[in-house]
Amino acid sequence: MKASWLAAALVVVCSQALAEDEAEPHHHAVKVVAEQRLAVGNDALLPIYVSSDWSRAQPSITRAVVVLHGRLRNADVYYRSALAAQEAAGDAGKSTIMIVPQFLAEVDVEHWHLPPDTLRWSLVGWEGGEPALGPTPASSFVALDMILVHLSNKYLFPNLKQVIFAGHSGGGQVVQRYAIAAPDEPAYRARPEAPISVRYVVANPSSYAYFGAERPEPQIAASCPGYNDWKYGMEARPPYLAASTSAELEQRYVARQVIYLLGTADTNPDHPALDKSCMAEAQGPYRYARGHSYAATMAKRDGGTPNHRVWDVQDVGHDGDKMLTSPCGLAALFDLPGCIAGH
């Protein structure tokens, strides 16, 4: 009873915090910086939250859930949300490690007087895998690769079977692009005898990366010169993706396990955090429509997308906590039953 009450309280607190934050501009410094650090290369550190000591052997852990924060870089709020989802998952949550990395901007490093080896990106560059501004030009996707490399350590996580990358809103944009960009090697190279499966949960992002020129709103695309540039399309891709062709990236993406988690009430075309650039407007009027249009477009291309699923979360708007702790959210993160995923 006490655990259930705590989980409910966490959801209420986090939902209120996220709702308030959605209306804030993202150029202000973050209110909290994560205390733990992950090495990215030899010269850079990424702030990160981890629910248990992952520097020691964790034989009881069979699943890792990596939750990506939104445009405000408020990883502390998303970490509380991740813990609420873990608590709501019951026994499935007990064998899971929750991880929330923090992609800071220059303003955050300056405001908090952080060491020069702290990774930082432009205000939006981290969402699409752009190189960091310092101390090295590491892509935010390289930082996610390093999380996979750490989790693939068979001495630290001998029984890990599954990694889930999940993101809501801006974090959903990161997850969708990383599902396209990520190579297979980090998750499998260290454990060919017992490979780790990876799933990508994309919840209510403002936009998607298209593989072709088609768009739900072709008139807007026609008057928008950059509508097909990355992160909205395959043109002008950042260095992390430069070694692969668009066709290779699409083949990789289609083969991956992807769940589009869409709130049926996320239909406000004037939402303060909605991407209203012409590149995004060409994808549809609001998030729910953009998600279904993208999934439908992908399903019509080539052999379709048998590994991709679209799950509607009934009567939920742009609320990360309600999305991730809904029956479909818990099914996506922890393989729990109870999701009725109708369109």
Summarize pLDDT for 18-70 with one digit per residue, the tens: 444 455 666 789 999 999 999 999 999 999 999 999 999 999 999 999 999 99
Q: In terms of Cα–Cα distance, which of 274, 316, 268, 319 is closest to 14?
A: 319
Q: Which pair of tokens denotes residue 311?
A: 């799950």
CA distance 202 to 324: 11
CA distance 193 to 188: 9
Report the b/e string of 72-87 with b at 16+ CB within 10 A. bbbbbbbbbbbbbbbb
SS3 162: strand
Report the b/e string of 139-149 with b at 16+ CB within 10 A. bbbbbbbbbbe
Q: What pLDDT, on a 0 to 100 scale, did the predictor assign at position 22?
A: 55
Q: In terms of Cα–Cα distance, which of 337, 336, 63 is closest to 197?
A: 63
SS3 178: helix
Count of residues for the chain?
A: 343
CA distance 135 to 126: 14
Q: Where are the domains of the chain?
A: 2-334
Q: What pLDDT, on a 0 to 100 scale, did the predictor assign at position 311?
A: 98
Q: What pLDDT, on a 0 to 100 scale, did the predictor assign at position 13?
A: 45
Contact 33, 45 (CB under 8 A): no
Look up residue 228 and give its amino acid: N
Q: In terms of Cα–Cα distance, which of 143, 125, 127 is closest to 46?
A: 143
Q: What pLDDT, on a 0 to 100 scale, did the predictor assign at position 162?
A: 95
Q: Which residues in the chain come in under a pLDDT of 70?
A: 1-26, 185-191, 342-343
CA distance 57 to 62: 12
CA distance 170 to 207: 9
Q: What pLDDT, on a 0 to 100 scale, did the predictor assign at position 16?
A: 47
pLDDT of 74-84, one tens digit each? 999 999 999 99
Q: Are strands 45-50 and 36-39 parallel, antiparallel or unpaired?
A: antiparallel
**Domain covering 2-334: architecture:** 3-Layer(aba) Sandwich (3.40)
Q: What pLDDT, on a 0 to 100 scale, did the predictor assign at position 339?
A: 92
CA distance 258 to 199: 6
Place of tokens 């807007």: 220
Contact 278, 329 (CB under 8 A): no
Q: What pLDDT, on a 0 to 100 scale, did the predictor assign at position 185?
A: 62
Report the first-to-last Cα separation within the chain, whole angstroms. Answer: 34
CA distance 18 to 321: 8
Q: Pseudo-torsion of CA 245, 251, 252, 258, nearest 10°? A: 130
Q: Pseudo-torsion of CA 244, 250, 251, 256, nearest 10°? A: 110
